[in-house]
Amino acid sequence: MATLARKLRLSDYFALSFGTMVGVGWLVVMDDWLGRGGPLGAMLGFAIGGILLLPVGYIYGQWVQRLPDAAGEAAYTAQVFPPIVSYFTGWMMLLAYFIVCPWEAVAVGKLAAYIFPSLNSYELYRVAGQPVFLPRLLLGIALTLFLALLNYRGIRLSASFQNWTTAAMLLLFAALLGISAAYGAPANFHPGFNASPWISIVLTIQIVPYFMTGFESAPKVAEEAHLDFPPTGFFRAIALALFVGAGFYVLAVAAVAYVAPWQGLLGKHFVTAIAFEQALGARWPVRLILIMAMFGLFQCFNGNFVASSRLLFAYGRRRTIPPQFGEVHEKFLTPSVAVLGITAGTLTGLLLGDALLVPVTEVGSMASALGWLAACVSFWLVEKRISLRVVTGLGIAVSLLLFLMKVLPIVPGHFSRWEWIALGIWLVLGALLHRRFRPAAL
């Protein structure tokens, strides 16, 4: 039987982990970030969130050395829990990755329409009051099919694309920071918080799991590491992605709030672009931002496409879902059927349009935190060394806290009815597949 191609190195794993985290959220939903915490609340929320996730990242680095399996959390939890627990743990992480794909497919049309307003024409229908336009829908379909072809034909093609888009976005981001420093003013930060400091930080930390999901994507392609790749390289890639990712979000909020008064930006679309346009009185910074956003969108879409297709492949290989998803293409050595499955799911989600954007953030946050919690608890149960158990305990506490912040009604920003419904639909789908196909040992 054919196995997946082994061609990935440290730079590839970093680009995948960082790119899976950082897409266009800093442009598309910056107004939501500022509305939650104000500039200081949002910056502290992302900084604290990144630091808190380091123990979780360390546990993933330990797990992947011991068990380099595309099933990720499902394989880890299977070491200590019944098959039903490992199945739904992986199923929730699949949701966390997969749900980003239609999000980015929708976002590309929204982003392009800011440059070309004519794309907001030929309304087809509405979802939750939000119009779905034909040109934007076609653009999302085209990008989805392009990435599907890229991933279908080989991991090396996908990794090279990821590396180039990541490098381009980071270079453009450095230029953006320079512009903000030159044209901004500290007075624009006032007030620093949108509510009390505590509430502002908590409301931001609630969405950190969604926007930081991706550092743990490296283990999903652990089976595709180059033959001379050292096992310790996985944690190095994870830690670097966490530092750079959290730093990116902190500096993105700072750049926007520094260059223009942030309270005047709330409730507007593409706040990042508007802030720079107002500060400079010119359109060219907007073009720079939108080009950067396109690179970010491509890398995030591709990173989550890779991670979700590998999880789907691992489930098919273990016959807990239709076994066809576990097939490897004989020529390209890719999980070809799983790639097609993620493509079909993305195109279906794309039909929901802009109504998909903010609720997806909330559901993805909870799903990620739950997966991290399961991975940490599993490691704590198998690890006997005291020092590692202490680190693991920190990871458990952090991931449990992030999970509870989304599901407890007493916490501001908890799940709404529609978010519970979306989660319920996903769990029912997983349960139906689980009943239909007898699970093999993970």
Asked whether residue 425 carries a pLDDT value surpassing 70, the answer given is yes
**409 in any annotated domain:** yes
Nearest to 72 by CA among 216, 210, 213, 214: 216
Q: Which residues pair with 8 in a beta bridge?
A: 225
SS (H, E, C) 151-167: HHHCHHHHHHHHHHHHH
Given a contact cutoff of 8 angstroms between Cβ atoms, the answer to whether 415 and 206 are in contact is no
Asked whether residue 318 carries a pLDDT value surpassing 90, the answer given is no
What percentage of the chain reaches a pLDDT higher than 70? 95
Residue-level pLDDT at 405: 79
**5 in any annotated domain:** no
**3 in any annotated domain:** no
Mean pLDDT of 219-228: 93
- Here the CATH number for the domain that contains residue 283 is 1.20.1740.10
| pLDDT tens digits along 273-309 | 889 988 888 888 888 888 898 999 999 999 999 999 9
**441 in any annotated domain:** no
**225 in any annotated domain:** yes
- Residue 39 pLDDT class (50, 70, 90 cuts): very high
Predicted TM-score of the model (pTM) = 0.89
- The CA distance from 132 to 126, in Å, is 6
**The domain containing residue 417 runs over which residues?**
10-436
Question: In this structure, which amino acid lies at residue 142?
Answer: A
Q: What's the chain's average pLDDT?
A: 89
- Residue 441 pLDDT class (50, 70, 90 cuts): very low
Residue-level pLDDT at 442: 45
The tokens describing 100, both together, are 């980003």
Total domains present in the chain: 1
| pLDDT tens digits along 352-366 | 876 665 566 667 778
- The CA distance from 4 to 225, in Å, is 10
- Residue 25 pLDDT class (50, 70, 90 cuts): confident
